[in-house]
Amino acid sequence: MEKLFMLLLLALAATGKSSVVSAADAYESPQFRVVHLESDFEIRLYKEISWMSALVNGTSFQNSTKQGFHRLYQYLQGANRNSTCFSMTKPVLTTIVPSHSGGSPSSYIVRYYLPAAYNNKSPPPPLAELNLQLDKWKSHCIAVRKFTGYARDDNVEKEKDGLVASLGKSLMQGMDQNQNYNYSIAQYNASKHPTGRINEVWMDVLGFAAEGCAQ
Ligand SMILES: *[C@@H]1O[C@H](CO)[C@@H](O)[C@H](O)[C@H]1NC(C)=O
Ligand SMILES: *[C@@H]1O[C@H](CO)[C@@H](O)[C@H](O)[C@H]1NC(C)=O
Ligand SMILES: *[C@@H]1O[C@H](CO)[C@@H](O)[C@H](O)[C@H]1NC(C)=O
Ligand SMILES: *[C@@H]1O[C@H](CO)[C@@H](O)[C@H](O)[C@H]1NC(C)=O
Ligand SMILES: *[C@@H]1O[C@H](CO)[C@@H](O)[C@H](O)[C@H]1NC(C)=O
């Protein structure tokens, strides 16, 4: 984990320096609009998002995020067909893919958000050995619950259960904590910040009829 956060830290520092805007605004993030707000979560309508993504076979959220980010970081640093360097963006997203058997997850997808300039043009293809894929998400609604501190192997599932419970109580009464839903963890801060950290659990919202969410 330490290495990942060193990398994150370096990447964030590198992009921060060359920018004239304040650090808080220096990183591009995907655009969204809040369509529903509750005390402990919200529903966001995201615009289309393009990600460069790394599939990692593993059993640890932390180790898999570190490995996947390492591959993505090389892409950002120019390991692509045009030797293009990219700015760091936020968040780094790790999708937890539930196992079919219902046991512990055995794969993770780590994602780097491609700057909006690549919404309508293809980014340079990654070097083949990095084994990365371009993922384009259509505009859709995502339920989001924030949590602070570090995102770790021993808390991400609990945070996801918290979101499932909140959704089940209010908007989505069919939701059940015993089902294996896909979810993602969005991380916004480098490791040098022990406090003031922001992470989020993301879950796709299906069948929620708020404005713009209808599938
Ligand atoms: C992960 O496992 C799947 C299925 O076993 C395999 O097809 C894939 O190539 C593996 N990917 C990596 C990056 O190791
Ligand atoms: C994660 O990586 C660390 C360091 O390489 C290792 O000690 C640990 O066993 C790994 N954890 C899992 C669950 O694979
Ligand atoms: C790669 O570079 C070539 C030549 O400069 C340019 O025409 C092309 O648009 C670039 N491709 C991408 C995906 O940036
Ligand atoms: C869960 O994620 C996997 C891998 O991205 C995808 O194939 C599957 O369709 C997703 N399932 C749902 C219900 O979104
Ligand atoms: C963590 O990231 C969030 C979102 O970008 C930012 O608002 C916040 O200031 C960051 N926290 C620290 C301690 O840098």
Nearest residue (by CA) to ligand 3, atom 11, is 124
Q: Which ligand is nearest to the CA of 181?
A: 4
Nearest residue (by CA) to ligand 4, atom 5, is 97
Q: How far from 126 is each of 3, 46, 56, 79, 86, CA to CA, in Å?
A: 22, 25, 16, 6, 12
Nearest residue (by CA) to ligand 1, atom 8, is 57
Helices (H), 60-171: 61-76, 156-169
DSSP per position, 24-40: GGSSB---EEEEEE-SS
- In this prediction, residue 140 carries a pLDDT of 92
Nearest residue (by CA) to ligand 5, atom 9, is 24
Average pLDDT of the residues in 143-170: 94
Indicate whether residue 106 lines ligand 2 (CB < 6 A): no
Of residues 71 and 191, more confidently modeled: 71
DSSP state of 90: S
Query: How many Cβ atoms are within 10 Å of 40's Cβ, its own excluded?
Result: 12
Of residues 1 and 195, more confidently modeled: 195
- In this prediction, residue 24 carries a pLDDT of 54
Of residues 98 and 96, more confidently modeled: 96
Average pLDDT of the residues in 166-188: 84
Q: Which ligand is nearest to the CA of 200?
A: 5
User: 164, 47, 184: which is closest to 109 by C-alpha?
Assistant: 184
Name the burial class of residue 28, with classes exposed (0-12), middle (13-18) and buried (19+) by CB atoms within 10 angstroms of its CB: middle
Peptide bond into 91 cis (omega under 30): yes
Which among 53, 55, 59, 64 is the best mutation to test ligand 1's pocket, defined by most ligand atoms within 8 Å of the CB? 55
Nearest residue (by CA) to ligand 2, atom 5, is 63
Q: How far apart are CA 173 and CA 38, in angstroms?
A: 15
Of residues 50 and 25, more confidently modeled: 50
Q: How far apart are CA 186 and CA 163, in angstroms?
A: 14
Q: Which of 35-39, 76-80, 169-173 has the lowest mean pLDDT?
A: 169-173
Indicate whether residue 14 lines ligand 4 (CB < 6 A): no
User: 158, 159, 152: which is closest to 191 by C-alpha?
Assistant: 152
The contacts of residue 62 (CB under 8 Å, 6+ apart) are: 1, 4, 151, 152, 153
Q: How far apart are CA 68 and CA 57, in angstroms?
A: 10
Name the burial class of residue 207, with classes exposed (0-12), middle (13-18) and buried (19+) by CB atoms within 10 angstroms of its CB: exposed
Nearest residue (by CA) to ligand 5, atom 6, is 24
Rounded to two decimals, the pTM is 0.86
- The CATH code of domain 2-205 reads 3.20.80.10
Q: Report pLDDT digits (tens) over 9-38.
A: 444 444 433 334 445 558 999 999 999 999
In the structure, what pLDDT confidence band is assigned to residue 173 with cuts at 50, 70 and 90?
confident
Give the Å distance between the CA of 28 and the centre of ligand 1: 31
Indicate whether residue 122 lines ligand 3 (CB < 6 A): yes
Indicate whether residue 63 lines ligand 2 (CB < 6 A): yes
Residues in contact with ligand 1 by the CB-under-6-Å rule are 55, 57, 131
